[in-house]
Amino acid sequence: MESTKRIDAPRLFFAADAEELAKRAASRVVEIAQRAIAARSRFVLALAGGSTPELLYRMLVERYRDVLDWRRVEVFFGDERLVALDDPRSNFAMAQRTLLRHVAIPESRVHAVPVTLPPEQAAAQYEQSMLATVPPVVAGGPPAFDLILLGIGSDGHVASLFPGAPTLDAVRQYVAAAAPGVLPPPVDRITVTLPVVNAAGAVIVLVAGESKSEVVARALQRSEDPHMLPICGVRPIDGDYEWFLDQAAAKRLSTNTEK
Ligand code: 6PG
């Protein structure tokens, strides 16, 4: 019997387009950050990769560079491709380009993945650095981020947790090596596992574009096995669980009303 409640159904926030989505999500990220900084003088965040978050990161710079106390922000990556950190496919490179080099986060508080190591070693070392920096809610448990940002693949993957991957069953492993998924780029990756996602104080999923409308409709029915649709394995324990969608991604939903 679980002693804590699981959040199965996310709160949905709709935006007219990707720009509006980025604005609304940026406002929410800063609200969560300021709450964490007020409570614990620090905001520990796991960034999402891919393309959807780019607009959000740019919006955080444009609107909040001088508002948020970025010196209090600690950044990890929810997943990373094992390519050079200046490779255009790197999630670190994307975050650097759109956010990190434009705000006053101390370099020591930006935790890049050790991408030059073999996948298993990179995952183990990153897990150690995460455990050393991000306290768990319960001793021995997963690192508890204040916020984990996620995108979603059209196959329902989140971070680099792909359908059918053994990493979907991880319990005590918090960062794992991930073989290339079917979606590009076909490179080795490392990824946080579901216990880390579900231990976060807040999980925000960013979804934009019609190509995601089918997976959005499937995922929100919440009737599929997480092994087939990994987004269904996101069930935060006590955390806030929110999706920010543009109209194109939400087009197959009946309850697509502006919030
Ligand atoms: C990655 C991401 C991945 C991404 C989805 C959606 O490293 O690729 O972490 O999980 O969020 O694939 O990607 P888009 O935002 O590009 O559609």
56-88 pLDDT, tens digit per residue, is 999 999 999 999 999 999 999 999 999 999 999
**Are 233 and 194 in contact, with CB atoms under 8 Å apart?**
yes
| Alpha carbon distance 111, 28 (integer Å) | 23
State the average pLDDT over residues 90-96: 98
State the average pLDDT over residues 27-52: 97
**Are 147 and 172 in contact, with CB atoms under 8 Å apart?**
no
Whether 1 has a pLDDT exceeding 60, the answer reads no
Neighbour-count burial of 218, counting CB atoms closer than 10 A to its CB (0-12 exposed, 13-18 middle, 19+ buried): middle
180 lines ligand 1 (CB under 6 A): no
156 lines ligand 1 (CB under 6 A): no
Q: Ligand 1 centre and the CA of 182: distance in Å?
A: 12
Cα 202 → chain centroid: 10
pLDDT at residue 124, as a whole number? 98
**Are 94 and 47 in contact, with CB atoms under 8 Å apart?**
no
Whether 5 has a pLDDT exceeding 90, the answer reads no
State the average pLDDT over residues 100-125: 98
Whether 258 has a pLDDT exceeding 50, the answer reads no
pLDDT at residue 238, as a whole number? 87
Tokens of 29: 């990220």
Q: What angle do CA 241, 216, 23 make, to 5 degrees?
A: 60
Considering the segment(s) 19-246 as one domain, its CATH architecture is 3-Layer(aba) Sandwich (3.40)
pLDDT digits (tens, 9 = 90+) for 225-255: 999 999 999 999 988 999 999 999 999 997 5
Whether 256 has a pLDDT exceeding 70, the answer reads no
Beta strands in the chain (DSSP E): 11-15, 43-47, 73-77, 79-81, 147-150, 175-178, 189-192, 202-207, 240-246
246 lines ligand 1 (CB under 6 A): no
| Alpha carbon distance 241, 30 (integer Å) | 16
pLDDT digits (tens, 9 = 90+) for 153-205: 999 999 999 999 999 999 999 999 998 866 677 899 999 999 999 999 999 99
Element (H, E) at 32: helix 18-40
pLDDT band at 257 (very low <50, low <70, confident <90, very high): very low
Please state the domain extents for the chain: 19-246
Atom of ligand 1 nearest to the CA of 189: 7
pLDDT at residue 31, as a whole number? 98
pLDDT at residue 185, as a whole number? 76
Mutation probe of ligand 1 site: the residue of 57, 79, 234 with most atoms within 8 A of C-beta:
79
| Alpha carbon distance 182, 237 (integer Å) | 30
Mutation probe of ligand 1 site: the residue of 160, 167, 234 with most atoms within 8 A of C-beta:
160
Cα 235 → chain centroid: 13
pLDDT at residue 184, as a whole number? 74
| Alpha carbon distance 64, 16 (integer Å) | 22
Q: Ligand 1 centre and the CA of 63: distance in Å?
A: 24
Whether 103 has a pLDDT exceeding 70, the answer reads yes
119 lines ligand 1 (CB under 6 A): no
48 lines ligand 1 (CB under 6 A): yes
pLDDT digits (tens, 9 = 90+) for 119-131: 999 999 999 999 9
pLDDT at residue 222, as a whole number? 82
- Give every CB contact of residue 47 below 8 A, 6+ residues apart in sequence: 53, 57, 75, 76, 77, 78, 91, 95, 99, 149
